[in-house]
Structure 1
Amino acid sequence: MRLTDEQREFGAAVDAFCRREAGSRDQRDALTDGGAEAHSDTLYRKLADLGYLGITIPEEFGGAAGDATDMVILLEHLIKNLAPVGGIGPTIITAAAYEKFGTDEQKKAILSGVVAGDSLSISMSEPGAGSDVGALTCKAERTASGWRVNGQKTWCSNAHFASTILLVARTSSDGGKHEGLTMFSVPAGTPGLTISGIDTLGGREVNDLYFTDCELPEDAVVGEVGQGWGQLMAGLNTERLILAAMQLGAAQRAFDDTLTFVTERHQFGRPVGSFQALRHRLADHATEIACTKLLVYDVAAQVSENPAALLPRQASMAKLKATETAKAMAIDGMQMMGGYGYATEFDMERIMRSSIISTVYGGTNEIQRDIIGKTYGL
């Protein structure tokens, strides 16, 4: 993995920002209502002021026109520093769909808003359609003036503070289950849309969405009517790489916190990290994190070289490896820290909670393994 001097300086600048604005537990608690919220709009807007939120947005909309590697650097360093900006992943994922498929008017409104600090959300899952997205039933029917949406969506990240939700709904039941899906742009506060939070171990992160005769104009369609499935598939590289980058950062933070603890904690007259059982375990995790970083940045380089290429094997491998590495490091970190790893006074328990769910969202790791297997003809 070879980064340019400018990219290394960018990572260092993100680190410095995080240390200054959210470097202590007290600062992060003040920004997140004691940890109940995963996203601080105050901190997020400061990132926007620095131009960081436009890292992958084209220059014509005020962005920096950076590539996938620049995006990975930003996300890895933000999450490594526990910056409470949970909205950034879904925002970059959703912005990429608007950039690929939106009209000129949609791009101007949405992408410029992202650069300025707006958050976005994408809604696919339903009570009966999770990993099997093609089974979704939330329906959008044509009207004289546009579309009328009825149905329920669930597990929608960040919808409670997003300025716009990108909805995937069924516009036709003809053909196979992956046909007849369409993307719609739904502004926050649209009449007929009710957002209800779902309580989780991670606090307020995900939501149920209820559409009841929700009226959308004709120009709410993003891309082509009935082509939503293909449009979703075109964004999988970006989505899985984003998740991989974030969990790479989480794994590194879990390792760093564990290393600090076992170095400072003494039992039986010596640092607990000097005992072979812990020393070897940390050596294994350090090796796994280094391997994960090489994989994630290699996939980022491939995406940067050819953004239009579909890389199902590589993107799924990156997501699978990074999330499993973060989960293993956090669980072992808690074990090595003992009761302190379980106490909310320390960050390890929160890292563990967020890393465990990372193997579920964005396509479960079982699905990632299935995709990888299929690329080998299995």
Structure 2
Amino acid sequence: MHVRTPEQAAFADAIDAFCRARTGTRAQRDALTHHGTEAHAPGLYGQMAELGWLGVGIPLEYGGAGGGMSDVCLFAERTSYGLAPVGGFITTAVAAGPYAKFGTPEQKETVLGGIARGRVEAISISEPGAGSDVAALSCRAVRTHGGFIVNGQKTWCSNAHFADHLLLVARTNTVGSRHEGLTMFCVPAGTPGMEIRGIPTMGGKEVNDVFFTDCFLPESSVVGTVDHAWPQLMAGLNSERLILAASMLGRGRRAFDDAVAYVKERKQFGRAVGSFQALKHRIADLATELDCCELLVYRVAAMADEHPDRMLPREASMAKLKTTETAKRVALEGMQMLGGYGYALEYDMESHLRATVISTVYGGTSEIQRDIIGKTFGL
């Protein structure tokens, strides 16, 4: 396991204690999430903001703690392990990067300061015809007097229904390559011409379609440089992959610990089922894989902290690929070890499975991660 600083160890202990007290039982989590239909509990999130945790990666001048990617990953991992319903944190942490690097002073004050106080941010990239092929997006932002008029549809937009702003990526120019002519915009919630419709999923209320119809955005809403959002976007996606990896590290470890606890207690043929070699070896393999994931995630996080402007496409994709696939395997194996109880709502394993299976899809599928890694070797 990776070595934490004394401050990080204390931070992890505090998060663990918080989660044990407030989200430690199914009854507590059901009350916070309307029986699992909501991925985000605003009240709980607000309590974390009061403790100063949500500003973990936000610069000091905007009310944050000034921590690095290692600290952000630690928060994502431990809250995920604790099954804390704070689904808004991932998109918020990812959105913070572009605002911190490319935003105007006003955008930084509003968005970054708001994040530290417990506000949620969302990102709108994917479209019905542009998922893995991000450069194919066609939502248009046409320049007009004083700003831009946006028309088009976005989809799979996590947390848009309760976010303060949408970090929109739209096409502002059709001249040049597909990777040119893209621009980022900060779109406040409730902007006229923007409509958000939820997409029903197994995970409850998490993702949305977003429709723009003659939606006016002033020039001041541009984040970074007009027509040059591609490098900005790539930097953000690498951060997203690392934070998602950290979150699934936490969920994978929770699924593992739940499985171990069960096989120690469940008795068949006169002894605990975990004492049988078939399960003992399965547990050994999963434990080894999870430790490998932890070392990889925090190694990449340390690299990001050492060189904040470095892209790290290979390493971030490796972390996302390895950790999400491992977490999915742990949950699948856990369900097999729990037998029928793995499928029952009485236990959390079915929830672990739903959460980990989709993690190999969002933020770039496992297939896309492999393709990115291969390209870094000139293939």
Q: Which residue number in structure 2 is paired with residue 147 of structure 1? A: 148
Matching residue of 2:301:
300
The percentage of aligned residue pairs carrying the same residue is: 62
**Which position in structure 1 is the counterpart of 2:22?**
21
| AA at the equivalent of 2:166 | I
Q: How much does 1:74 deviate? A: 0.8
Q: Please give the residue correspondences for 1:1-378 in structure 2 after superposition, counting only pairs within 5 Å.
A: 1-378=2-379
CA RMSD of superposed structures (Å)? 0.7
Any conservation in 1 of the 2:256–2:334 contact (CA below 8 Å)? Answer: yes
Whether the aligned pair in 2 keeps the contact of 1:91 and 1:114 (CA below 8 Å) is: yes
In the aligned structure 1, how far is the partner of 2:242 from the partner of 2:235?
13
Q: Deviations over 1:198-236 (max 9, x none)?
A: 011111110000001111111010000001111101223
DSSP-derived class of the 2:217 partner? strand
Q: Which runs of 4+ in 1 moved over 4 A?
A: none
Distance in structure 1 (CA, Å) of the matches to 2:218 and 2:259: 52
CA positional deviation for 1:237: 2.8
Q: Distance in 1 between matches of 2:23 and 2:83?
A: 8
Provide the TM-score with structure 1 as the length reference. 0.99
The amino acid of 1:296's aligned partner reads: V
Q: Matched residue of 2:36: which SS?
A: coil
What do the CA deviations read for 1:266-312 (whole angstroms, capped 9, x no partner)?
A: 11111111111111101100000011101111111111111111111
Report the TM-score, using the length of structure 2 for normalisation. Answer: 0.99
1:127-171 per-residue CA deviation (whole Å, 9 max, x = no partner) reads 000000110010011111211110000000000110110000000
Structure 2 distance, partners of 1:273, 1:153, is 47
| SS of structure 2 residue aligned to 1:304 | helix
The alignment partner of 1:156 has SS state of coil
Q: Distance in 2 between matches of 1:180 and 1:144?
A: 19
Provide structure 2 residue ranges, at least 5 long, that are not aligned to the other structure. none
SS where residue 54 of structure 2 aligns? helix
Structure 1 residue runs of 5 or longer lacking an equivalent are none
On the 8 A contact 1:18/1:81 being kept in 2, the answer is yes
**Residue type matched to 1:349 in 2?**
E
Are the equivalent residues in 1 in contact too, given 2:237–2:363 (CA < 8 A)?
no
**Deviation of residue 346 (structure 1)?**
1.1
Q: Which moved more, 1:138-147 or 1:46-55?
A: 138-147
What is the distance in 2 between the residues matched to 1:102 and 1:190? 19
Say which SS state the counterpart of residue 208 (structure 2) adopts: strand
Q: How far is 1:377 from its partner?
A: 1.5
Equivalent position amino acid for 1:356 in 2: V
State how far apart, in whole Å, the 2-side matches of 1:155 and 1:242 are.
18
Deviation at 1:246, TM superposition (A): 0.3
Q: 1:342 offset after TM fit, Å?
A: 0.5
SS in 1 for 2:156: strand
Hey, what's the Cα distance between the residues in 2 that align with 1:234 and 1:332? Answer: 34
| 3-state SS in 1 of match to 2:190 | coil
- The alignment partner of 2:13 has SS state of helix
Residue 160 of structure 1 aligns with an amino acid whose one-letter code is H
Count of residue correspondences: 378
SS of the equivalent of 2:106 reads helix
Question: Match of 1:168, as an amino acid?
Answer: V
Offset of residue 373 of structure 1: 0.8
Q: Would you say the 8 A contact 2:91–2:121 is kept in 1?
A: yes
Q: What secondary structure sits across from 1:243 in the alignment? A: helix
- Secondary structure of 2:138's aligned partner: coil
- How many Å separate the matches in 1 of 2:146 and 2:6? 53
Task: Give the Cα–Cα distance (whole angstroms) in 1 for the partners of residues 62 and 260 of structure 2.
Answer: 43
C-alpha distance in structure 2 between counterparts of 1:109 and 1:299, whole Å: 29
Distance (whole Å) between structure 2 residues aligned to residue 316 and residue 123 of structure 1: 20
Distance in 2, Cα, partners of 1:16 & 1:177 = 48
Alpha-carbon separation, structure 2, partners of 1:292 and 1:239:
16
| Alpha-carbon shift at residue 349 of structure 1 (Å) | 0.5
Instruction: Check whether the contact 1:183–1:228 (CA below 8 A) recurs between aligned residues.
Output: yes
Give the deviation of 1:4 after TM superposition.
1.1
Instruction: Answer yes or no: is the 8 Å Cα contact 1:237–1:303 preserved in 2.
Output: no
CA distance in structure 2 between the partners assigned to 1:348 and 1:83 by the alignment: 15
Q: How big is each residue's C-alpha offset from its partner over 1:91-123, in whole Å with a ceiling of 9 and x where there is no partner?
A: 000011100110001000000000011000000
Distance 1:213 1:318 in 2: 40
- Separation in structure 1 between the aligned mates of residue 226 and residue 329 of structure 2, nearest angstrom: 42
SS in 2 for 1:318: helix
What's the CA shift for 1:22?
Answer: 1.1
Asked if the contact 1:181–1:225 (Cα under 8 Å) also holds between the matched residues in 2, the reply is: yes
CA distance in 1, matches of 2:74, 2:269: 41
In structure 2, distance between residues paired with 1:334 and 1:293? 22
